[in-house]
C-alpha cells in the first residue's frame, strides 16, 4: 500500500455539500407554499452560510505569495510533487504560519530549484517513513516551541507513540505500521476534532480500517483482520453513528491515541471500566474477580467480547442455552444454581412490570386517569435496570433484594390499574342503570300522553 495519506477522495468542499443539502431542504419549504417559513429558512440559510464561511476561512486560506516552494510546486503540474501544494490550504500548519520549509528545510526565497532545494540550506526532501515521528516531534515534543502557540497542547505524542505496537515495530524496522501521517494525513493535517479530520470520532474507524480491514496488507502478521467488521456490528458503533453519541468508544478510545493504552489503563482488556465504572465496581466485589484473575481471564471481554459488544438481555444470565453462564458452570455447580436464581428474580420483576404496564395502558386507553400510577411504575423500571447491573456481583441475594423492592412498586401500580378498571366497570354499570331508569320514565310518559289523548274528547270539549 502506498502511504495511506495521499489517496482519500472525500475532500469535496464541505460547505458545498452542505449547501446542496440545505438547498434541498429550502426547496422543500418553498414547495409547501408558506412564505413566512420561506423567509425564515432563507434567513437561517444566510446565517449558517456566514458561519460556514467563517469556519472555512481557516481551511481555504490563500497561500502566501513569494514562497518559491509553493509557487514552483503548484506550477509543475506533476502528480507526485504538485498535490502537497494543492492540499496545503486546508492544513492546520498553514493556519499557524508553518510552511513547506519548516518541515522540509531549504530556501523558500530562492526561485530556482537547485538553490531552493539545497541540502546546504537544510533541505531534507521527502523524509523516510522511519524518520517521520522525529520530524513531527521537532515541534510537537518541544514544550518551549508549542507553548508559543498553545500552552495546553500535549507534547508527549512521539514518546507515547514509541510505547505502542506501531511505534515499537517501526523502530524494529517494519515500515507497514501506522506512523503520524497514517492517522493525521499529510499536507492536509486538520485540527483533530475537525469533522473532516481522520481523527474525528466518527471517522477513526475508516482511518484504522485502511490497514486493519485489509487482509492483503496484513498478510504475514498474526493479528485478526475482522476487528473492524466486528466493531461495526457492535452497540458501541451503533450508538456512535446512529445516535451520534460521542461518548461511545471508537478504536482509539480503547486503544489509546498514541500510547499502548489510554492514560490510566494498565491493559486494554481493562478499558471498559473507564466508562462502565459502576459495573466494574460490582464486578470487583464478585466471586469472578479472583477466579478470572487466577486463570488469566479478562474481566469484561470474557462475557461481552471486545469488538462485537452487543446489547444485552436477561437471557444472557441463567441456565438455558443462550446464557453465558453455562459456558463455564456445570449443572451441579454452585454457580449454575445461583445463575438460575438470579434469572428467576429478574424474570419475576420484568413480568410484574409488563403486567402493570399492560393494565395501566388499558385503563388509560379507556379514558381513566392513571398518570400518577404510570409515573410510580417508572420506579420499578429503574430498579430493573439497577438489578441488571447488579448481576455483575453474581450474588443472587443482592439481585433478589433489588427485585423484591421493584416487585412491590410494580404490584402497587398494578393494583391502581385494576382499581381504575373496576371504577370504570362501576361507572358503566351506573350508566346502564340510568339508561334503564330513563327509558322506563320515557315509556311511562308516552303511556300517560296516550291516555290523555284518549280521554281528551270525552271531557266534552265542544266539537266545532
Ligand atoms: C523551481 C521549482 C522548485 C522549487 C522552487 C522548489 N521545488 Fe521542490 N521539487 C521540484 C521538482 C521538479 C521536484 C521533483 C524532482 C526532484 O525530486 O528533484 C521537487 C521535489 C521536492 C520534494 C520531494 C523530494 C523527494 O525526495 O522526493 C520535496 C519534499 C520538495 N520538492 C520540497 C520543496 C521545498 C520545501 C521547497 C522550498 C524550500 C521546494 N521544494 C522548492 C521543484 C521545485
Ligand atoms: C508538517 C510537515 C510538513 C509540511 C508543512 C509540508 N510537508 Fe511535504 N511532506 C511531509 C512528510 C511527512 C512527507 C512524507 C510523506 C510520505 O511519506 O508519504 C512529505 C512529502 C512531500 C513530498 C513528496 C511527495 C511524494 O509523494 O513523494 C513533496 C513533494 C512535499 N512533501 C512537498 C511539500 C510542499 C510543497 C509543502 C508546502 C506546500 C510541504 N511539503 C509541506 C511533511 C510536510
Ligand atoms: C494510530 C493513529 C495515530 C497515530 C499513529 C498518531 N496519532 Fe496523533 N492522534 C490520533 C488521535 C485519534 C488523536 C486524538 C483525537 C481526539 O482527541 O479525539 C490524536 C491527537 C494528536 C494531536 C493533538 C493533541 C493530542 O495529543 O491529543 C497531535 C498534536 C498529534 N496527535 C500528533 C501526532 C504525532 C506527532 C504522531 C506521530 C508520533 C501521531 N500523532 C501519531 C491518532 C494517531
Ligand atoms: C514546525 C513545527 C511543526 C512541525 C514540524 C509539525 N507540527 Fe503539527 N503543529 C504545529 C503547531 C504550531 C500546531 C498548532 C498548535 C495549536 O496552535 O494548537 C500544530 C498542530 C498540529 C495538529 C492539530 C492539533 C489540534 O489542535 O487538533 C496536528 C494533528 C499536527 N500538528 C500533527 C503534526 C504531524 C503529524 C506532523 C508531522 C508530519 C507535524 N504536526 C509537524 C507545529 C508543527
Ligand atoms: C498504515 C497502516 C495502519 C494503520 C492506519 C493503523 N494500523 Fe494498527 N497496525 C498496523 C500494523 C502493520 C500492525 C502490526 C501488527 C503486529 O505486528 O502485530 C498494527 C498493530 C496494531 C495493534 C496491535 C495489535 C497486536 O495486539 O499486536 C493495535 C491495537 C492497532 N494496530 C490498532 C490500530 C488502531 C486503533 C488504528 C487506528 C486509530 C490503527 N491501528 C491504524 C497497521 C496500521
Ligand atoms: C470497546 C473497546 C474497544 C474498541 C472500541 C476497539 N477495540 Fe480493539 N481491542 C480491544 C480489546 C479489549 C482487545 C484485546 C486486547 C488484549 O487481548 O490484550 C482488542 C484487540 C485489538 C487488536 C488485536 C487483535 C489480535 O488479533 O491480536 C487489534 C488489531 C484491534 N483491537 C484493533 C481495533 C480497531 C481497528 C478498532 C476500531 C475498528 C478497535 N480495535 C476497537 C478493545 C477495543
Ligand atoms: C468510552 C466509553 C466506553 C467504553 C470504553 C466502553 N463502553 Fe460500553 N458502552 C458505552 C456507551 C456510551 C454505550 C451505549 C449506551 C448504553 O446503552 O449504555 C455502551 C454500551 C455497552 C453495552 C450494552 C449495554 C446494554 O444496555 O445492553 C455493553 C454490554 C458494553 N457497553 C460493554 C462494554 C465492554 C465489554 C467494554 C470494554 C471492552 C466497553 N463497553 C467499553 C461506553 C463505553
Ligand atoms: C469464563 C467462565 C465463567 C463464566 C462465563 C461464568 N462463570 Fe461464574 N465462575 C467461574 C469460575 C472459574 C468461578 C470460581 C469457581 C467456582 O466457584 O466454580 C465462578 C464462580 C461463580 C459463582 C460463585 C459460586 C459460589 O461458590 O458461590 C457464582 C455465583 C457464579 N460464578 C455465577 C455465574 C453466573 C450467574 C454466570 C453467568 C452470567 C457465570 N457465573 C458465568 C467462571 C465463569
Ligand atoms: C460472567 C459474565 C459477565 C461478565 C464477566 C461481565 N458481564 Fe456484563 N453482563 C452480563 C450479563 C449476563 C448481563 C445481562 C444482565 C441482564 O440484562 O439481565 C450483562 C449486562 C451488562 C451491561 C448492560 C446492563 C447494565 O449494567 O447497564 C453492561 C453495560 C455490562 N454488562 C458491562 C460489563 C462490564 C463493563 C464488565 C466488566 C467490568 C462486565 N459487564 C462483565 C454478564 C457479564
Q: Is the Cβ atom of 374 under 6 angstroms away from ligand 2?
A: no
Is residue 394 within 8 A of residue 288, CB to CB? The reply is: yes
> CA separation (Å) from 215 to 8, 198, 209, 233?
19, 21, 10, 19
> CA separation (Å) from 105 to 94, 125, 238, 435?
15, 8, 45, 100
How many CB atoms within 10 Å of residue 276?
Answer: 16
Look at the block and give the residue holding cell 435496570: 385
Contacts by residues 403-407 (CB-CB < 8 Å, ≥ 24 positions apart): 403/345, 403/346, 403/348, 403/349, 404/345, 406/349, 406/352, 406/353, 406/379, 406/380, 407/348, 407/349, 407/352, 407/380
- Full-model pTM: 0.88
Hey, what's the torsion of the CAs at 408, 414, 416, 422, to 10 degrees?
-140
Establish if 364 belongs to a structural domain: yes
Q: What angle do CA 366, 367, 369 make, to 5 degrees?
A: 125
Establish if 411 belongs to a structural domain: yes
* pLDDT at residue 50 in the model: 59
Per-residue pLDDT averaged across 355-383, rounded? 96
Establish if 420 belongs to a structural domain: yes
Q: What does the alpha-carbon distance between residue 139 and residue 92 come to, in Å, rounded to a whole number?
A: 14
* pLDDT at residue 33 in the model: 42
Q: Please choose from 87, 185, 186 the residue to mutate so as to test ligand 2's pocket, defined by most ligand atoms within 8 A of CB.
A: 186
* pLDDT at residue 8 in the model: 37
Which of 22-31, 137-146, 151-160 is least confident? 22-31
Establish if 221 belongs to a structural domain: no
Question: 207 pLDDT exceeds 50?
Answer: yes
Q: Which three cell numbers stand for residue 84?
A: 502537497
Establish if 419 belongs to a structural domain: yes
Q: Is the Cβ atom of 272 under 6 angstroms away from ligand 7?
A: yes
Q: What angle do CA 143, 144, 148 make, to 5 degrees?
A: 105
Which of 62-66, 125-129, 162-166, 283-287 is least confident? 62-66
155 CA from centroid of ligand 9 (Å): 37
Establish if 360 belongs to a structural domain: yes
Q: Tens digit of pLDDT for each residue in 298-339?
A: 999 999 999 999 999 999 999 999 999 999 999 999 999 999
Per-residue pLDDT averaged across 283-294, rounded? 96
303 CA from centroid of ligand 6 (Å): 15
Per-residue pLDDT averaged across 174-181, rounded? 97
Is residue 173 exposed (0-12), middle (13-18) or buried (19+ Cβ within 10 Å)?
A: exposed
Establish if 96 belongs to a structural domain: no
Per-residue pLDDT averaged across 205-211, rounded? 98
272 CA from centroid of ligand 3 (Å): 21
Per-residue pLDDT averaged across 370-385, rounded? 97
Residues with CB under 6 A from ligand 1: 68-69, 72-73, 76, 81, 100-101, 104, 106-108, 111-113, 116-117, 125-126
* pLDDT at residue 42 in the model: 73
Ligand 3, atom nearest to 154 Cα: 26
Q: Please choose from 272, 315, 317 the residue to mutate so as to test ligand 7's pocket, defined by most ligand atoms within 8 A of CB.
A: 272
Per-residue pLDDT averaged across 145-172, rounded? 97
Model confidence at 457, pLDDT cuts 50, 70, 90, reads low
Instruction: Please report which ligand is nearest the Cα atom of 349.
Output: 9
| More confidently predicted of 442 and 3 | 442
441 lies in which domain range? 343-445
158 CA from centroid of ligand 5 (Å): 16
* pLDDT at residue 7 in the model: 38
392 CA from centroid of ligand 4 (Å): 44
- Total count of domains within the chain: 1
Establish if 58 belongs to a structural domain: no
Model confidence at 60, pLDDT cuts 50, 70, 90, reads low
As a whole number, the mean pLDDT across the chain is 89
Per-residue pLDDT averaged across 65-84, rounded? 95
Amino acid at each position: 500500500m502506498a502511504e495511506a495519506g495521499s489517496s482519500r477522495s472525500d475532500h469535496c468542499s464541505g460547505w458545498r455539500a452542505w449547501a446542496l443539502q440545505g438547498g434541498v431542504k429550502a426547496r422543500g419549504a418553498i414547495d409547501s407554499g408558506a412564505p413566512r417559513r420561506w423567509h425564515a429558512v432563507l434567513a437561517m440559510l444566510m446565517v449558517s452560510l456566514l458561519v460556514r464561511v467563517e469556519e472555512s476561512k481557516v481551511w481555504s486560506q490563500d497561500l502566501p505569495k513569494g514562497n518559491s516552494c509553493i509557487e514552483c510546486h503548484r506550477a509543475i503540474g506533476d502528480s507526485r510533487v504538485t498535490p502537497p501544494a494543492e492540499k496545503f490550504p486546508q492544513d492546520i500548519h498553514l493556519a499557524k504560519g508553518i510552511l513547506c520549509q519548516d518541515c522540509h528545510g531549504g530556501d523558500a526565497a530562492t526561485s530556482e530549484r537547485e538553490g531552493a532545494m539545497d541540502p546546504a540550506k537544510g533541505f531534507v526532501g521527502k523524509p523516510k517513513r522511519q524518520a517521520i515521528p522525529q520530524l513531527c516531534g521537532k515541534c510537537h515534543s518541544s514544550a518551549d516551541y508549542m507553548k508559543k502557540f498553545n500552552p495546553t497542547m500535549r507534547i508527549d505524542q512521539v514518546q507515547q507513540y514509541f510505547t505502542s505496537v506501531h511505534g515499537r515495530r517501526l523502530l524494529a524496522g517494519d515500515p507497514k505500521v501506522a506512523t503520524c501521517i497514517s492517522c493525521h494525513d499529510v499536507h492536509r493535517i486538520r485540527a483533530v476534532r475537525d469533522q473532516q479530520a481522520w481523527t474525528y470520532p466518527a471517522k477513526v474507524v475508516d482511518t484504522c480500517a485502511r490497514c486493519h480491514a485489509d487482509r492483503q496488507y496484513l498478510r504475514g502478521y498474526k493479528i485478526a483482520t475482522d476487528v473492524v467488521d466486528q466493531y461495526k456490528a457492535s452497540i458501541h458503533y451503533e450508538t456512535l453513528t446512529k445516535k451520534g453519541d460521542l461518548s461511545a468508544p471508537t478504536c482509539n478510545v480503547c486503544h489509546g491515541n498514541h500510547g499502548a493504552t489510554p492514560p490510566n489503563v494498565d491493559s486494554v482488556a481493562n478499558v471498559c471500566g473507564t466508562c462502565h465504572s459502576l459495573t466494574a465496581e460490582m464486578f470487583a466485589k464478585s466471586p469472578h474477580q479472583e477466579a478470572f484473575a487466577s486463570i488469566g481471564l479478562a474481566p469484561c471481554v470474557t462475557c461481552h467480547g471486545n469488538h462485537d459488544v452487543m446489547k444485552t438481555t436477561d437471557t444472557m444470565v441463567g441456565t438455558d442455552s443462550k446464557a453465558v453462564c453455562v459456558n463455564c458452570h456445570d449443572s451441579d455447580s454452585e454457580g449454575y444454581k445461583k445463575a438460575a436464581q438470579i434469572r428467576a428474580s429478574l424474570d419475576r420483576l420484568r413480568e410484574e412490570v409488563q403486567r402493570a404496564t399492560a393494565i395501566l395502558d388499558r385503563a388509560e386507553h379507556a379514558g381513566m386517569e392513571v398518570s400518577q400510577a404510570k409515573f410510580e411504575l417508572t420506579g420499578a423500571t429503574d430498579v430493573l435496570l439497577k438489578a441488571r447491573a447488579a448481576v455483575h456481583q453474581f450474588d443472587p441475594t443482592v439481585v433478589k433484594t433489588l427485585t423484591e423492592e421493584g416487585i412491590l412498586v410494580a404490584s402497587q401500580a398494578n393494583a391502581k390499574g385494576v382499581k381504575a378498571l373496576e371504577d370504570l366497570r362501576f361507572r358503566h354499570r351506573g350508566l346502564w342503570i340510568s339508561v334503564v331508569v330513563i327509558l322506563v320514565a320515557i315509556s311511562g310518559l308516552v303511556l300517560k300522553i296516550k291516555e290523555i289523548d284518549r280521554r281528551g274528547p270525552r271531557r266534552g270539549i265542544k266539537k266545532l
